Structure 1
Amino acid sequence: MKSSRIALSLLSVAIAGFASPAHAWGQLGHSIIAELAQRHLSPTALANVKALIGETSLASISVWADDYKFTPAGKQTYRWHFVDIDVAHPNYDAAVDCLEKNGKGTCIVKGLPAAITMLKDKSLSKEERVLALKLVVHLAGDVDQPLHASERTADEGGNKLYVTLQAKRSDGSDYTRSSTFHSMWDDSLVDLQAYSWGGYADALDTTPLPTVDAPPYDEAKVAGWANDTHAIGIKAYQWLPPGTPVQNDKDHPVTINNDYPTSAKADLDSQLLKGAARLRAILDDALNQ
């Protein structure tokens, strides 16, 4: 419990409005995951969510943790947002992939369970549990983004590879956006699918949420989720055009055509649904009492 108490001390001050350069899954993806999870919460868990944050939606708090990690109070949660498993390796290795670095924490495999533990602890103040809820909602989405569980030759989950996505929306209109490969997965692939995140959420909600393993949602369980996501991350790199460099600069981006989002669409949908299902399961377990 000592490590959890140390983590709690980091969460004792709410930070709002702190600008960050990127959001994992972007506002759109995190909103979709949080909205679908909230729609399918048990009545008791939903009532307890409202007891913590009132009528505020889970979608509206889903990217708070991305701002928080850049603040002095949240610095030690920075590495909780990802686990960089090299695509040359099939599975997560705690001794390699989850080391504490530069006072910024370990990795999501340890961070998400720590936040869940805090959320479940009724001895904590309401403020502390609200902050834990914000972390849980965000990190449960992060663990399902393929480039938050994968990297290639120390490219930091595609953050050192620049691309230009040139694709078509479903209505045939052109879509072009230059970004890092990581940001293409965070934002562009989701943005490409619909003109509003609500519309995308409604489309996904026609499919039942996948089944999630029973609790506890501890390090072993989250490691399994990270391995599952990493398998998609391996494919995400394989879908890149032949000859794509490991790293480049923003002035020489790799052009990605419509073949890429077409190849990725089924897995993109699946990962968003898994994120919603896992978040729902976590909240039902933590707040269903």
Structure 2
Amino acid sequence: MNRFLLAFVLCLAPVLPAQAYWEYGHETVAQIAQANMSPMARAHMQRLLRAAPNLGTPTCPMQNIGDVSVWADCIKRDRVRWGYTNSWHYQNVDICKPFDLKSACADGNCVSAQIDRNFALLANKALPAHVRLEALAFLVHFVGDIHQPLHAGDRSDRGGNDLKTTYGIMPGYNLHSVWDGLLADRAISAAPSIVRAFSPAEKAAVEQGNAQSWSEENWAISKNVAYPRALDGDPCGAKPTMPVIIDEADVAASRAALRQQVERGGIRLARLLDEALT
């Protein structure tokens, strides 16, 4: 029976809907931010959450920061109303050329531009509460997205979505989904917990910068860690014709980088929320 259930789950795996950084990654970034933002900012956020019914998204509730962190993925199911937001979750910056954010975000429909836009909307206290709450939800989500390296780096394969993989014994995935969920789950779950209040010195070391510098940082991890591990060293070589194998050595070499970016995302998000809400 156990073998049958495992085979059934593996058969379903390739058709499971793709999420941007899956729920666990986004919720962890948000929880780190909540643990490190000021009490005043947390109080302002709680007041904004009362406006959730005015957004008209009852199937995508926002009762706490965990809900807030995945709202932007939840609403994408309504393609008629929210389909235009799909391109806001990523930016395909070519890892095989010098870093060039402008070419990947010429019209502002990319994750870094939307971090800046929604920060400005959240900070504008003249706007109605439900407008600022929507901006809060997008901001929380997109800071998580930009800290998933395959939302920042690309080699003409939609951030690894077209690079098929076998993860251990599990076929049917791609490099993007491995970093979004499977690898992220293992990296985040490792002890000690990364959801904690960081010291002022720890925060000072990583919280500075902006959406553009964070973009380049995660693009570099995509270039120097994610793709080389999957492609046996050459991130810009010939495209594989068969699924690449992500083995335990690849997981061990990649896990620390992903865990570090989740931490950094949460600390940086806390800084943005403090600045926008207080």
TM-score by length of 2: 0.79
Q: Does the residue aligned with 1:72 lie in a helix, a strand or coil?
A: helix
Q: Does the residue aligned with 2:160 lie in a helix, a strand or coil?
A: coil
RMSD: 2.5
TM-score by length of 1: 0.76
Task: Confirm or deny that 1:258 pairs with 2:248.
Answer: yes
Identity of aligned residues (%): 31
From 121, 124, 128, the equivalent of 1:121 is: 124
Runs of 4+ in 1 over 6 A off after TM superposition: none
Q: For residues 64 and 110 of structure 1, what CA distance do their matches in structure 2 show?
A: 19
Q: For residues 274 and 31 of structure 1, what CA distance do their matches in structure 2 show?
A: 14
Q: What is the one-letter code of the residue matched to 2:161?
A: N
From 138, 154, 157, the equivalent of 1:155 is: 157
- Whichever structure has more helix as a proportion of its residues is 2
Q: Does the residue aligned with 2:173 lie in a helix, a strand or coil?
A: strand
Cα distance, 1:192 vs structure 2: 2.9
Q: What is the one-letter code of the residue matched to 1:117?
A: A
Gaps of 5+ in 2: 1-15, 51-61
1:23–1:63 Cα contact (<8 Å) kept = no
Q: For residues 124 and 146 of structure 2, what CA distance do their matches in structure 1 show?
A: 22
Q: For residues 234 and 207 of structure 1, what CA distance do their matches in structure 2 show?
A: 31
Cα distance, 1:247 vs structure 2: 5.6
Q: Deviations over 1:47-92 (max 9, x none)?
A: 0011011593211221111233453333332221111111112423
From 139, 142, 151, the equivalent of 1:136 is: 139
Q: Does the residue aligned with 1:73 lie in a helix, a strand or coil?
A: helix
Give the total of aligned pairs.
243
Q: What is the one-letter code of the residue matched to 2:222?
A: G
Cα distance, 1:144 vs structure 2: 0.6
Q: Deviations over 1:152-190 (max 9, x none)?
A: 1x1010010111111xxxxxxxx7464111000000102
Q: What is the 5 A alignment of 1:1-289? A: 21-53=17-49, 56-69=63-76, 71-94=79-102, 96-100=103-107, 106-152=109-155, 154-166=156-168, 176=170, 178-193=172-187, 203-205=193-195, 208=198, 210-211=203-204, 212-213=206-207, 221-235=210-224, 236-242=226-232, 246=239, 248=241, 252-288=242-278
Q: For residues 206 and 122 of structure 1, what CA distance do their matches in structure 2 show?
A: 29
Cα distance, 1:39 vs structure 2: 1.2
Q: For residues 114 and 69 of structure 1, what CA distance do their matches in structure 2 show?
A: 19
CA shift in 2, pair 1:264/1:230, >3 Å: same
Gaps of 5+ in 1: 1-19, 167-174
